[in-house]
Structure 1
Amino acid sequence: MKGIILAGGSGTRLAPMTKAFSKHLLPVYDKPMLYYPLSILMLLGIREIHMIATSHDKPLYEELFGDGSHLGISIQYVIQDKPNGIAEAFLLTYDDLKGSKVCMMLGDNIFYIPNHKEFFADIVKMQSGAYIFGYQVSDPERYGVVEVDGNGKALSIEEKPLNPKSNIAVPGMYFYDEKVFEYAKNLKPSDRGELEITDINNIYLSNKELNVKVLGRSSIWLDSGTSDALLESSHLIQSIEKRHATKIACLEEIAVNMGFVDKKTMKKWVESTKSKSSYMQYLKNLASNW
């Protein structure tokens, strides 16, 4: 399975913070926003990742992650200067990823799923079809909304409906089989002029190949694309990290735990850094025992 992270766009909801700076590089507590979706892909064992970026932001992302090799992964950057909808990501990566199953993450979505191995176990082994997720919210009209029956099966999906049929929003994490690339090629822009991810999901729904998994109460999802949500995300991450004396989305720790990089190599990299931030101090404390 391959990974896609959407980190383009202009971040207008966070202006003026994003006038000269990508929202995906804004801090969520002690690390850039992009660390969080990337950490999910790494925890799923996905090592080949395409990151969608504007031509302005691409050098900044490269400065932050390079090609991903120090994390034992491969990151390729794909330019999207005009946001034409989430589903355009499959057209931009078509030549490289066609024929592959993919997990696509929105770069401004924060997930905290404590039992992630158990939660994703059946999903990462999927042979065909698609998986989307559900999360109960108080303002479903802001999101794509899925209506489910008593057995958790999807009945309908709508994009930002004026009169939502449920309060279950669809977070920005999607799993698709290889057919998604051909489906995307045949999409037509919506009234908003975008290639909608909801239209992709509706194709899978009509083919009875759409699976929905609702995040439990112990799991957390935040769309950190607004000022309030960004602040809330930071406070939440801070609270969890302090309570459990651990780091969420510590990419170097994940790389070692997943076997992407051996402890000796990572220890050498950690010890070569001169930063005295709390994030790096956490890594140095871990490395002292490697």
Structure 2
Amino acid sequence: MKALVLSGGAGTRLRPITHTSAKQLVPVANKAVLFYGLESIAAAGITEVGVIVGDTAREIQDAVGDGSAFGLNVTYIPQERPLGLAHAVLVARDWLGDDDFVMYLGDNFIVGGISGVVDAFRRTRPDAQILLTRVKDPRPFGVAELDPDGRVVGLEEKPRHPKSDLALVGVYLFTPVIHDAVREVTPSWRGELEITHALQHLIDAHADVRSTVIEGYWKDTGNVADMLEVNRTVLEGLTRRIDGEVDERSQTVGRVVVEEGARIVNSRIVGPAVVGSGTVVEDSYVGPFTSIAENCHVADSELEFSIVLRDSSIHGVGRIESSLIGRHVEVTPAPSVPSAHRLVLGDHSKVQIHT
């Protein structure tokens, strides 16, 4: 069995972060979201992995390499444009051959991994297996309709009027019959080749398409709010570890990780929180559910429920919370201009200003 990992896509909902970085490499608890998926695939006993890449191919390749760090053998498969999940299967056809495979969306996060569902698929080998979870608002997702016996009878991609609250999780398992189905797919109203249409083709042809409703935690980390929520979930599982330097005027409370090479000076860190190697926190407070990546500098500030990417600095700005701060960012106090805001923002930014 092989794995096809999708790591293309523009990541428009995470702009401006994704103007300069692949969305799959935004870190959760100081580890790229994509790495959690690769670790789950390896834990399921799959070693041959094809990674679909697009405009951020070089960055993905530099981060993942040949896959040996994860116990995997990785092949990169270029996709010129992100034209849908079914299109990704089409461009990977030669590499997939006639093997069964799991398709894993690289920006998805599933607590507990996929070993159980992969083992069940290997034993029973239906034509296709989908994972579902109940969500409050299914409109942004692929949505499944089940009959009273739990069989999949219909699938829609991002429906305006969903027929159920069962959203497709970004993990699919297929036998080679999917290849005939994706060749029958035509572009949707979004201009993409939807995997839900290929699955519907299998259903209409009376293929064996099964579903599993998962009860565990799942998130599509496509926007800032979900990214922060996943970060919170992962940090809750931290084991306290202080490998860096914490001076006598500082305090670390609870599940705090201070990586080797980090320094905490006259500061209070309340877990769960992680401070990356080479980072200096001084005269500051770092509160729960915060991840600060490597080589950052936080001084005379308060930070809580936030993610700070590498090589950034936060100096003298009071309290920051519920924030995602990119790489090589400088956050400093604004000049003392009465009743004015001074902003330098990238394209597609969103700003909330308290007035």
Pair in the same fold by TM > 0.5: yes
3-state SS, counterpart of residue 139 of structure 2: helix
3-state SS, counterpart of residue 142 of structure 1: coil
**Corresponding residue number in structure 1 for 2:221:** 224
Aligned-partner Cα distance in 1 for 2:154–2:58: 40
The structure where helix makes up a greater share of residues is: 1
3-state SS, counterpart of residue 145 of structure 1: strand
3-state SS, counterpart of residue 76 of structure 2: strand
CA contact (8 A) 2:131 2:213 kept: yes
CA contact (8 A) 1:7 1:24 kept: yes
Give the counterpart letter for 2:100 in structure 1. Answer: K
**Corresponding residue number in structure 2 for 1:135:** 133
**Corresponding residue number in structure 1 for 2:107:** 108
CA contact (8 A) 2:42 2:71 kept: no
Give the counterpart letter for 1:241 in structure 2. Answer: L
Aligned-partner Cα distance in 1 for 2:137–2:165: 7
Shift of 1:118: 4.3
3-state SS, counterpart of residue 180 of structure 2: helix
Give the counterpart letter for 1:34 in structure 2. Answer: L
1:1-53: CA deviation from partner (whole Å, max 9, x where unpaired): 11011110111111101111111111112200111221221121110001011
CA contact (8 A) 2:7 2:24 kept: yes
Identity over the aligned pairs, expressed in percent?
31
2:159 to 140, 161, 167: 161
Matched, 1:240 2:237: yes
Shift of 1:280: 10
1:259-278: CA deviation from partner (whole Å, max 9, x where unpaired): xxxxxxxxxxxxxxx97587
Give the counterpart letter for 2:232 in structure 1. Answer: H
* Structure 1 residues 276 and 60, CA gap change in structure 2 (3 angstroms): farther
Give the counterpart letter for 1:237 in structure 2. Answer: V
CA contact (8 A) 1:152 1:213 kept: no
**Corresponding residue number in structure 2 for 1:40:** 40
CA contact (8 A) 1:9 1:81 kept: no
Aligned-partner Cα distance in 2 for 1:191–1:275: 51
* Structure 1 residues 58 and 16, CA gap change in structure 2 (3 angstroms): same
CA contact (8 A) 1:145 1:169 kept: yes
**Corresponding residue number in structure 1 for 2:193:** 195
Aligned-partner Cα distance in 1 for 2:17–2:106: 16
Aligned-partner Cα distance in 1 for 2:56–2:261: 26
* Structure 1 residues 126 and 41, CA gap change in structure 2 (3 angstroms): farther
3-state SS, counterpart of residue 155 of structure 1: strand
**Corresponding residue number in structure 2 for 1:95:** 94
Aligned-partner Cα distance in 2 for 1:131–1:153: 11
Q: Which has the larger radius of gyration?
A: 2
- Could you list the runs of 4 or more consecutive aligned residues of structure 1 that deviate by over 6 angstroms after TM superposition? 277-281
Shift of 1:100: 1.1
* Structure 1 residues 280 and 147, CA gap change in structure 2 (3 angstroms): same
CA contact (8 A) 2:38 2:70 kept: no
**Corresponding residue number in structure 2 for 1:266:** none
So what's the TM-score if we normalise by structure 2?
0.65
The aligned length equals 248
Higher relative contact order (CA 8 A, sep 6+): 1
2:122 to 118, 121, 124: 124
Mark the runs of 5 or more structure 2 residues left unpaired by the alignment: 242-258, 263-273, 278-355
